[in-house]
């Protein structure tokens, strides 16, 4: 049998080095190593993504808050400047002069020089009737007594109206200042809401560039994907909106809590698109500055980051799994090769141990064969003498008796050599039904002469039928021979060896071999199955019991030992009964 064939048989028959065992080890190693390597990577990638997303969200929403805060400040300044003009005019101009249309027109021209967004200027008496007017609109005599902004100006000293559309189709909003603390007459200016076009890209709504006086009004800037506009307290648009349409349309924003500081709000519009709103109320006015941006547009960079992280994680996982699979496969294959070599060496040791035992048995076997050979020689010589020296023909019965004796002795020699060769041959593992009594007596047949010569008494201490087991006959022979050999070595001449067999636990059989030798010291009992450990000074390799222990374990059994110095030692081999292979 070649070395490769031996390895193949060992791998098939030896459970510890079976291919399926290494496949299971490989799968377990790959899974556990991959989990240990990949799970932290996934966790850290998730943590990094959440951190980056939080930082990114902060970075993309901070400009929105800044835009709204600056817009709120700009509108407050815008309104305060025009309110200040009215307050200065009311404080420094006589009421009768304000009732003069020509004088009022001159004031309007001066105001328009600084603020071209002013449409007209008028004086409202304490009853709410417009009594003087300068401008293109025909509003002289109009009654404003029921307007909330007129009543608010009478109470607070000034007010700002919502954007409204008059009868002539002109969009405007009013700033009103009470004339004096003692006179509830009021000065009013109407302002074109187009003045708020600096909130966004005025070209989007077809606004004209209002010239050099508007050079700095677009400094806030707004992203192309964002929508900046103004609403009143009822969420009615005061300027056009990309999302909600023209001025005076009702915006579809959710209710906004009053905030004097820039705040954020998220909601989904009627199409399901996620929107982020930044807003702030303008003090002393009905206006709220709003900046609206789609979440997807703001998070485009975050999505790119997530894609990059996912690609990085996927590539890393592929590399990790590739390295783990390759490395584990290499290591497991090397381990299997090492185990195959170990198994081969172990089997060679078993065979060497068996050959060593055969060497010890050779003298007894030679003597056992010499007896039948001597009988054959004697009977054959007698037959020759009868045929050559006698003048009378030998009787048929005499010849048959001599030939039967010769054949019987020849068969005895054949049986002895067959048993010896069967024990010595390195046979493949073969499961078969084995009668333990017959097997033990065959093993003792090799030692019969030594027992007789040394007057060692061998006793079989069991009654009834001997149980059978399904196992490997050759390996059991070696197990029992090793232990019985140790028992013979332990006892003195005239000693006693007792062999017992009993059924235990229903599915096992225990074979006990007890000698009355010197015994084993307690400190050595824990080491007797260790390789190369021996108590035989000057002889022994220390491999017999180690190999015996390995064989018993491989056969699915166990071996126990108990000993007392000066009284003897007992080895108990417990074997599973087993079932024949189908």
Whether the per-residue pLDDT at 329 is higher than 70: the answer is yes
Decide if domain 429-582 falls under CATH 3.40.190.10: no
How far apart are the C-alpha atoms of 248 and 238, rounded to whole Å? 6
CB 75 within 8 A of CB 287: yes
Q: Is the pTM of this model over 0.75?
A: no
pLDDT in tens, 484-512: 888 888 898 889 999 999 888 768 899 99
User: 230: phi > 0 → left, psi -120 to 50 → alpha, else beta; which?
Assistant: beta
How far apart are the C-alpha atoms of 310 and 313, rounded to whole Å? 5
pLDDT category of residue 16 using cuts at 50, 70 and 90? low
Whether the per-residue pLDDT at 281 is higher than 80: the answer is yes
Please provide residue 172's backbone torsions phi and psi, each rounded to the nearest 5 degrees.
-165, 165
pLDDT in tens, 414-449: 766 666 665 555 445 578 888 888 888 888 877 777
Task: Check residue 526 and give its pLDDT.
Answer: 77
Please provide residue 112's backbone torsions phi and psi, each rounded to the nearest 5 degrees.
-65, -25
Task: Check residue 1 and give its pLDDT.
Answer: 42
Whether the per-residue pLDDT at 128 is higher than 70: the answer is yes
Task: Check residue 556 and give its pLDDT.
Answer: 86
What is the average pLDDT across 261-269?
A: 89
Report the 3 state secondary structure along 205-235.
HCCCCCCHHHCCCCCCCCCCCCEEEEECCCC
Choice between 164 and 404, residue whose per-residue pLDDT is larger: 164
Task: Check residue 125 and give its pLDDT.
Answer: 92
Whether the per-residue pLDDT at 398 is higher than 80: the answer is no
* Domain spans, the chain: 60-298, 429-582
Task: Specify which of 236-250, 340-354, 388-402 reaches the highest per-range mean pLDDT.
Answer: 236-250
Q: Look at residue 259 and give its three-state secondary structure.
A: coil
CB 365 within 8 A of CB 416: yes
Report the CATH architecture of 60-298.
Answer: 2-Layer Sandwich (3.30)
């Amino acid at each position: 049998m070649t070395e490769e064939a031996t390895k193949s048989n060992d791998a098939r028959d030896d459970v510890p080095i079976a291919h399926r065992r290494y496949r299971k080890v490989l799968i377990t190693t790959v899974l556990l190593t991959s989990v240990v390597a990949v799970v932290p990577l996934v966790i850290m990638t998730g943590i990094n993504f959440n951190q980056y997303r939080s930082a990114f969200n902060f970075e993309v929403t901070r400009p929105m808050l800044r835009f709204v805060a600056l817009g709120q400040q700009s509108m407050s300044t815008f309104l305060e400047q025009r309110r200040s003009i009215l307050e200065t005019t009311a404080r420094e101009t006589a009421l009768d002069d304000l009732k003069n249309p020509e004088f009022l027109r001159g004031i309007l021209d001066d105001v328009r020089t600084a603020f071209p967004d002013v449409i007209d200027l008028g004086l409202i008496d304490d009853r709410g009737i417009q009594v003087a007017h300068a401008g293109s609109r025909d509003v002289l005599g109009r009654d404003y007594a029921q307007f909330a902004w007129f009543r608010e100006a009478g109470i607070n000293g000034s007010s700002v109206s919502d954007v409204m559309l008059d009868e002539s189709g002109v969009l405007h909003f009013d700033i009103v200042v009470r004339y004096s603390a003692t006179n509830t007459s009021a000065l009013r200016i109407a302002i074109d809401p187009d003045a708020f076009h600096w909130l966004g890209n005025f070209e989007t709504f077809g606004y004209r560039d209002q010239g050099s006086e508007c050079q700095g009004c677009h400094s806030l800037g707004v992203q192309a994907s964002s929508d900046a506009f103004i609403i009143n307290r009822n969420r009615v648009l005061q300027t056009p909106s990309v999302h909600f349409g023209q001025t005076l349309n009702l915006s579809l924003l959710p209710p906004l809590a009053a905030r004097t500081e820039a705040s954020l709000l998220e909601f989904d519009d009627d199409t399901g698109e996620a929107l982020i709103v930044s807003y702030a109320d303008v003090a002393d006015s009905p206006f709220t500055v709003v900046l609206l941006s789609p979440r997807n547009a703001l998070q485009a960079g975050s999505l790119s980051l997530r894609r990059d992280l996912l690609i990085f994680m996927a590539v890393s996982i592929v590399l990790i799994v590739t390295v783990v699979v390759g490395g584990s496969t290499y290591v497991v294959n090397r381990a299997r090769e090492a185990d195959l070599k170990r198994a081969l060496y172990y089997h060679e040791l078993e065979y060497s141990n068996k050959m060593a035992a055969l060497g010890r048995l050779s003298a007894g076997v030679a003597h056992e064969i010499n007896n039948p050979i001597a009988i054959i020689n004697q009977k054959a010589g007698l037959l020759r003498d009868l045929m050559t020296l006698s003048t009378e023909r030998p009787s048929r019965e005499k010849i048959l008796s001599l030939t039967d004796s010769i054949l019987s002795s020849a068969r005895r020699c054949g049986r002895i050599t067959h048993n010896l060769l069967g024990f010595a041959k390195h046979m493949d593992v073969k499961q078969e039904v084995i009668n333990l009594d017959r097997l033990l007596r065959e093993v003792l047949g090799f030692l019969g002469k030594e027992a007789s010569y040394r007057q060692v008494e061998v006793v079989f201490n069991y009654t009834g039928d001997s149980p059978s087991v399904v196992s490997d006959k050759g390996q059991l022979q070696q197990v029992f021979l090793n232990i019985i050999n140790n028992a013979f070595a332990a006892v003195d001449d005239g000693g006693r060896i007792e062999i017992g067999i009993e059924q235990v636990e229903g599915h096992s059989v225990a074979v006990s071999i007890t000698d009355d030798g010197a015994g084993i010291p307690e400190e050595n009992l824990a080491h007797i199955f260790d390789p190369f450990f021996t108590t035989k000074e000057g002889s022994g390799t220390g491999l017999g019991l180690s190999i015996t222990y390995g064989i018993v374990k491989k056969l699915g059994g166990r071996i126990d030992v108990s000993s007392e110095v000066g009284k003897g030692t007992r080895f108990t081999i417990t074997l599973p009964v087993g079932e024949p292979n189908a």
